[in-house]
Amino acid sequence: MVSVVYAYHFVSIIIGMNQYVHYTRFSPCNESKDFLEATEKLDGPLLASLLFHIIEWVRQMILITTILVGVKWLWAYFILSINIVLYFVGTIWAIVAGFGADDDCKNNQEGRVGFL
């Protein structure tokens, strides 16, 4: 089961990073005047989601190493459990940004909104 969770977070990191730097980030949203305003609407929630997945991926890597190799790193696994705070903040922020995006953002930055 740990390897499935590990793979899930690894794939989420790859997809999320692809959407974070995707060329559609510069597509205009409803009230954006330039590309910086168009990209900043979804960058924060995407970054929070990516940070959560990266930290969880490291946690799962530590757990797999502890199980398979026997290294006593379980203390680091439990310290990184503070990531649960980022999970709640990032999830709520991503849901609000994804479902609250205006129609122009949903059409022009479809992959980014879809990841959220």
**The Cα angle at residue 37 between residues 48 and 116, in degrees rounded to 5:** 35
Q: What is the pLDDT of residues 53-78, one digit of tens each?
A: 999 999 999 999 999 998 899 999 99
pLDDT for position 3: 82
> Could you give the CA distance from residue 116 to residue 22 in angstroms, rounded to a whole number?
14
pTM: 0.82
